[in-house]
A and B are shown apart, each in its own frame.
Chain A
Amino acid sequence: MSADLLEPILWAIGMAVLAAVLFTGIGLISGTDETATVAPIALLVILLGVPPAGVIAFFLAAVIAKHISHAVPTTLLGIPGDTTAVPMLREAQLLRALGVPHLALQKAISGGVIAVIIAIPLSILFALVLTPFAESIESAAPWIFVAAAVLVAYTSKGKLAAVVALTAFVLLISGLQAFILDQKDATFTTSFFLGIATGPLIFDLFAGLSPAGRKAMRQEGKREFALAPDVPRSGGRIPNPFTVLDRTQLTYTTGSAVITSATFVFSPVAMAVLMGEIAGSRIKNGFHRLTTVATVRNATTESTYIAETLIPLIAIGLPLSPVAAGPAAPLFNAPPVYTLDAEAGTTNNLHDLLTTGQFALFAVIAAVIAIVIAYPFVMTNAHRAATWVMRSVSHEAIIAGFAALICVICLYEGGLLALGVTITVGLVGGLFNRMIGMHAGVQFMGYYVAVLTVPAILAL
């Protein structure tokens, strides 16, 4: 190993440890959406001048650790740990009712670990295959994205309504972007993502302000949560994901990780739903289906995040995937450190600063550290951690923290105008989410349709 590489490796190790510890904790708190937590903190890491090795390791370790610990509130309490945990909620709740939530948890996170092991080499391999075609992908992107957006919208809860509402949402984004360009001679990104990610929260806060809304939101008493009892794990002291899963589950987890390492234009939530359906439809025994679907869905949250980050970073340099457009956006564009000129197609971001070999090295470092920290911790302390969060952390504190985060990040990106953009996007997006079942995944696709496809259509 050359001495030149020693310093980046130390950065990668240090930042991965920091991210793994921080996001294992954040994942335990329900509702902490990936985009609203990972993106701003990754942005901060970049702006503080952490070198590229530390940035990529930080980001990957953060999402891997968070997707391991988000299974704790999802399986033990029946409330989703974050947006990608929503698809496995039903199976988790049923297994909880059967009195075996610890089994659901252990299966889910073991699936996640295996998906990480598969997705890292495969997505790098896939990126290498795609690199020669980067230019044609770039020119086809506007059309791929609009097709994927429509498909994802149609497979969401909203079905046709979500597809039609996509038009309104895309035009809203286009209009806001044009107004921002007119006023500030700049474009915003984070404000839009933050608005989409926290849309349901912003919508609820507004509804709470209106007398009619408050009436509908009124609760008779404190909400009851049934915390499943702790069951000691059998077997060795150090958990092994390969023994927690049976052969069928290993096969489907591997298969879905392989598929989702290639389908990088679809939103992770949509892929988690789809992969779970495919695996579930092929398993005859109902009980076995429950545990396998929970495993595959959580595995998909890991593999999609890794592939959708690494493939655009290595092959293209433009954020051409829903993850790259959302939580990973700062890795592509964080002015003044990383820059991206969408019109000219010129970039100066991680794509230009790291070689494929370096991406592979730092990704492996991040994955190993995140798994070593998060997996044994969650396997052994899940119950204690979930109890502490539920008993001690008030929902008021979480919402207050998010409200402050929205204000600070918007003021940072573009002053009061950016704050207005986040509130507008959040209010409309939250309304669409709550009322017509158009989830954040569809809306992120909508953002990229507005940025990529709308100009391409107008240029026809």
Chain B
Amino acid sequence: MPHLIEVWNDTVDSRHLTGGIAISVGIAVTAYLVADHLFAAAGQTELGHSYALLFGILGCILGAVITGFLFKPKRVITSPTTDTRSRQEIIDEIVEEYGDLGDPRELPEAVQAEVRALGLFDALLENHRHHVADDGGSARETDEQQ
């Protein structure tokens, strides 16, 4: 699809976006201006001005709903079961970014129970052992860098 662009952290079709904005702004601004005019004509300036704002906001919502019906989301929702990487690979990636996730046996009782309930205990423990075994090598490496 040639018209897909990223706006405000998600994907939209630029033609659909232009159309949606035209619809919503058109409805909302018209609703506000007409309401404001009618309230002013009826002699209610102060309060009428705020009621006109209410009509304008209702117009925004109506415009957004119409846009939503006309143009469907440009997202593909996948479930991570399609992720074929092993748990250890994922943990390794996280460790690289965040630092060692630590020995789950050092955690307080209640937290240990939580980690076990999540089924993460063995994976974290295995990863920790792996890191401890590696430690000698990596310590020397940092020494050389300094």
B75–A412 touching, CB < 8 Å? no
A400–B56 touching, CB < 8 Å? no
**Which residue of A has the minimal Cβ distance to B16?**
A396
User: Is residue B145 within 8 Å, beta carbon to beta carbon, of the partner chain?
Assistant: no
Given the complex of chains A and B, what is the CA–CA distance between A43 and B53 in angstroms?
Answer: 10
**Which residue of B has the minimal Cβ distance to A224?**
B76
User: Is residue A234 within 8 Å, beta carbon to beta carbon, of the partner chain?
Assistant: yes
User: Is residue A455 within 8 Å, beta carbon to beta carbon, of the partner chain?
Assistant: no
**Which residue of A has the minimal Cβ distance to B17?**
A396
A217–B118 touching, CB < 8 Å? no
CB-defined contacts of B51 to chain A, threshold 8 Å: 48
CB-defined contacts of B28 to chain A, threshold 8 Å: 404-405, 407-408
Question: Given the known A-B contacts A394-B72, A411-B33, are A214 and B5 also in contact in the complex, defined by CB atoms under 8 Å?
Answer: yes
B49–A412 touching, CB < 8 Å? yes
B73–A393 touching, CB < 8 Å? yes
Tell me the A407-446 residues at the B interface (CB within 8 Å): 407-409, 411-412
Mark B52-78 against chain A: 1 for CB-CB distance below 8 A, else 0.
111011011101110110011111111
CB-defined contacts of A44 to chain B, threshold 8 Å: 50, 53-54, 57
B106–A404 touching, CB < 8 Å? no
Q: How many interface residues does A have (CB within 8 Å)?
A: 68
A394–B68 touching, CB < 8 Å? yes
B111–A404 touching, CB < 8 Å? no
CB-defined contacts of A398 to chain B, threshold 8 Å: 64
The smallest beta-carbon distance between B51 and chain A, in angstroms, is 7
CB-defined contacts of A392 to chain B, threshold 8 Å: 68, 73
B7–A395 touching, CB < 8 Å? yes
Instruction: Please pick, from B46, B64, B83, B98, the residue contacting A404 in the complex, using a CB distance under 8 A.
Output: B64
The smallest beta-carbon distance between A399 and chain B, in angstroms, is 6
User: Is residue B139 within 8 Å, beta carbon to beta carbon, of the partner chain?
Assistant: no
For chain B, what secondary structure do more than half of its interface residues adopt (helix, strand, loop), or is it mixed? helix
Instruction: Please pick, from A94, A228, A395, the residue contacting B94 in the complex, using a CB distance under 8 A.
Output: A94
User: Is residue B1 within 8 Å, beta carbon to beta carbon, of the partner chain?
Assistant: yes
The smallest beta-carbon distance between A390 and chain B, in angstroms, is 6
Mark A212-244 against chain B: 1 for CB-CB distance below 8 A, else 0.
001001111111111111000010000000000
Please tell me the size bucket of the interface on B: 35 or more
Instruction: Please pick, from A31, A220, A289, the residue contacting B9 in the complex, using a CB distance under 8 A.
Output: A31
Instruction: Please pick, from A30, A40, A214, A222, the residue contacting B11 in the complex, using a CB distance under 8 A.
Output: A222
Instruction: Please pick, from A31, A228, A400, the residue contacting B24 in the complex, using a CB distance under 8 A.
Output: A400
**Which residue of B has the minimal Cβ distance to A204?**
B7
B64–A400 touching, CB < 8 Å? yes
B12–A399 touching, CB < 8 Å? yes
A403–B25 touching, CB < 8 Å? yes
B90–A407 touching, CB < 8 Å? no
Tell me the A199-216 residues at the B interface (CB within 8 Å): 200-201, 204-205, 208, 214
A286–B98 touching, CB < 8 Å? yes
A229–B81 touching, CB < 8 Å? yes
User: Is residue A41 within 8 Å, beta carbon to beta carbon, of the partner chain?
Assistant: yes
User: Is residue B10 within 8 Å, beta carbon to beta carbon, of the partner chain?
Assistant: yes
Interface centre among B12, B17, B56, B100 (most CB of A within 10 A): B12
Mark A380-396 against chain B: 1 for CB-CB distance below 8 A, else 0.
00000001001111111
**Which residue of B has the minimal Cβ distance to A43?**
B53
Interface window among A95-103, A133-141, A156-164: A95-103
The smallest beta-carbon distance between B132 and chain A, in angstroms, is 13
A287–B32 touching, CB < 8 Å? no
B29–A214 touching, CB < 8 Å? no
Question: Given the known A-B contacts A208-B14, A404-B28, are A287 and B73 also in contact in the complex, defined by CB atoms under 8 Å?
Answer: no
User: Is residue B38 within 8 Å, beta carbon to beta carbon, of the partner chain?
Assistant: no
**Which residue of B has the minimal Cβ distance to A231?**
B118
User: Is residue B4 within 8 Å, beta carbon to beta carbon, of the partner chain?
Assistant: yes
B94–A397 touching, CB < 8 Å? no
User: Is residue B137 within 8 Å, beta carbon to beta carbon, of the partner chain?
Assistant: no
B74–A41 touching, CB < 8 Å? no
**Which residue of B has the minimal Cβ distance to A220?**
B4
CB-defined contacts of A214 to chain B, threshold 8 Å: 5, 14
A98–B53 touching, CB < 8 Å? no
**Which residue of B has the minimal Cβ distance to A198?**
B8
**Which residue of A has the minimal Cβ distance to B56?**
A408
Given A287-B124, A390-B73, 5 additional A-B pairs, CB 8 A: A248-B108, A285-B101, A394-B71, A395-B75, A397-B67
B residues near A (Cβ < 8 Å) are: 1, 4-14, 16-17, 19-21, 23-25, 27-29, 32-33, 46-47, 49-54, 56-57, 59-61, 63-65, 67-68, 71-81, 83, 87, 90-91, 93-95, 97-104, 106-108, 110-111, 114-115, 117-118, 120, 124
A residues near B (Cβ < 8 Å) are: 30-31, 40-41, 43-44, 47-49, 79, 94, 97-100, 103, 200-201, 204-205, 208, 214, 217-229, 234, 246-248, 284-290, 336, 387, 390-401, 403-405, 407-409, 411-412
Can you list the 4 inter-chain pairs with the closest CB atoms, starting with the nearest? A401-B64, A47-B50, A408-B56, A400-B20
